[in-house]
Amino acid sequence: MEIYKDNLFVEMYTETEGHLHGFKKVLFEGKTEFQLMQIVDTYEYGRCLLLDGKMQSSQADEFIYHEFLVHPALTAHPDPKNVLIVGGGEGATLREVLRHQCVEQVDMVEIDGQVVSFAKEHLREWHQGSFEDVRSNIIIGDGRKYIEETSKSYDLIIIDISDPGDAGPAYLLYTVQFYELVKRRLKTSGMLALQAGTSSVIYGEIMASVYLTLQKVFGYVAAFEASVPSFDLPWGFCIAGNEVVPGDISQDEIDRRLLGRFVKDLRAYDGETHAGLFKTTKALRNLLCEKGRLIEDQKPIYTPL
Ligand code: SAM
């Protein structure tokens, strides 16, 4: 985020493109050990969290991002009990996972303890007390190191990390070597769900590369996109696994599971949404076939800015 003039700031995507926001107040701006963090009250999107100048989530539309990141995979799993979230500092991914009453434990590994403390203080609407739920286990540490060292296995692993900026803490969590480690920590019917960056035909190289890289490791990979207005660009998500195929679960079965698990008051996702989610546009399918490359520890991928 750079101040453009007076009460306007701009989030730049590349050297030549960005999104202008009007803001009322900067609540916090400072460097943590890992990244630049800004919490800003805007006119159109309410409160927003930015890390290294990039919009992470806004009060007005975070429900779209977090519901799509969590529920298509979690609901497709027939009986999820143990979930791991990597990243997710605002606590909203945790909030959505905990809605499913069948989930017994959620480990959340977030590298930046200051994001969690600031979220507790300034982003109440995001976490809604989820950090204090008895099923939550918050670990401050690097997600990759945790996955390398833990002996636990999970029904679902959700990667909710920042974009792979070259100076940021996330770029080694987008590689084929990392996904191999994740696969070892999944139960047989386990799944991986992640945000894959924009699915825009202009800037979609990262999503296409994540998709291709996941395909090297998992038996199936499903991709879909959603509109999250504060991100300005269409947003991509992937679900990978070996047994459960989310697109095969019917609308009625999804609604039945949501009801049975006492998941109420969702604003973006239900059985009907699920049924249409994996019927992607030709433009997205073309992007995924044409623009990707294998992401490796020795050959990582970075966002343009
Ligand atoms: N909605 C977001 C987006 O659009 O990219 C992601 C949200 S969440 C705030 C991203 C979190 O990932 C941040 O809090 C950041 O500290 C965390 N993170 C980045 N790299 C990480 C790592 N290596 N291990 C664990 N957490 C990490």
Express each pLDDT in 143-187 by its tens digit.
999 999 999 999 999 999 998 877 778 999 999 999 999 999 999
Q: How far is the CA of 54 from the centre of ligand 1 (A)?
A: 11
Ligand 1 centre distance from Cα of residue 71 (Å) = 19
Q: Is the dihedral of CA 279, 290, 158, 14 positive or negative?
A: negative
In sequence order, which residues have a C-beta less than 8 Å from that of residue 82 and are 6 or more positions away? 103, 104, 105, 106, 107, 152, 153, 154, 155
Phi, psi of 140 (to 5 degrees): -95, 115
Residue among 92, 78, 264, 80 at smallest CA distance from 195? 92
Q: How many CB atoms lie within 10 A of CB 281?
A: 12
Q: Is 160 a catalytic residue?
A: yes
DSSP output for 142-187: -HHHHHHH----EEEEEEE-----TTSS-GGGSSHHHHHHHHHTEE
- The tokens describing 186, both together, are 């999944």
Is the distance from the beta carbon of residue 196 to the nearest atom of ligand 1 less than 6 Å? no
- Percent of the chain whose predicted confidence (pLDDT) is above 70: 99
Distance CA(54)–CA(162), nearest Å, equals 9
Confidence of residue 142 (pLDDT cuts 50, 70, 90): very high
Q: Which of 61, 107, 142, 160 is catalytic?
A: 160
Answer whether 86 contacts ligand 1 (Cβ < 6 A).
yes
In the block, residue with structure tokens 């791991």: 84
State residue 304's pLDDT score: 78
Structure tokens at 173: 């969590």
- Mean pLDDT of all residues in the chain? 95
**At 218, is the pLDDT very low, low, confident or very high (cuts 50, 70, 90)?**
very high
Which of 64-68, 158-162, 299-303 comes out lowest in average pLDDT? 299-303
Beta strand pairing call for 186-198 and 154-160: parallel
How confident is residue 20, by pLDDT bands cut at 50, 70 and 90? Answer: very high
Residue 2 has pLDDT above 90, yes or no: no
Check whether 282 has a pLDDT greater than 70: yes
- Can you give the pTM of this predicted structure? 0.97
Question: Does ligand 1 have an atom closer than 6 angstroms to the CB of 169?
Answer: yes
Candidate of 111, 122, 159 to mutate for ligand 1, largest count of ligand atoms within 8 Å of Cβ: 111
- Start-to-end CA span in the chain (Å): 12
- Longest CA–CA span in the chain (Å) reads 55
The pLDDT value given to residue 206: 95
Rounded to the nearest angstrom, the distance between the alpha carbon of 94 and the centre of ligand 1 is 13
Gap between the Cα atoms of 30 and 73, Å rounded: 35
Query: Alpha-carbon distance 218 to 202, whole Å?
Result: 27
Burial 8-20 (b: 16+ CB within 10 A, else e): ebbbebeeeebee
Pocket flag, ligand 1, residue 87 (CB < 6 Å): yes
Cβ–ligand 1 distance for 183 under 6 Å, the answer no
| pLDDT, tens digit (0-9, with 9 covering 90-100), for 228-237 | 999 999 999 9
Annotate 85-117 with DSSP letters as a single string.
EEE-TTSHHHHHHHTSTT--EEEEEES-HHHHH
48-57 average pLDDT score: 94
- Cβ atoms 12, 18 nearer than 8 A: yes
Range with the lowest mean pLDDT among 160-169, 194-203, 213-222?
160-169
Lowest mean pLDDT among 32-46, 86-100, 164-178: 164-178
pLDDT at position 1 is: 66
Question: From ligand 1's centre to the CA of 143, what distance in Å?
Answer: 9
Radius of gyration of the chain (CA): 18
Mean pLDDT for the stretch of residues 116-130: 96
- In three-state secondary structure terms, 231 is helix
Tell me what pLDDT residue 150 has.
98
| 11-15, 73-77, 183-187, 239-243: range with lowest mean pLDDT | 11-15
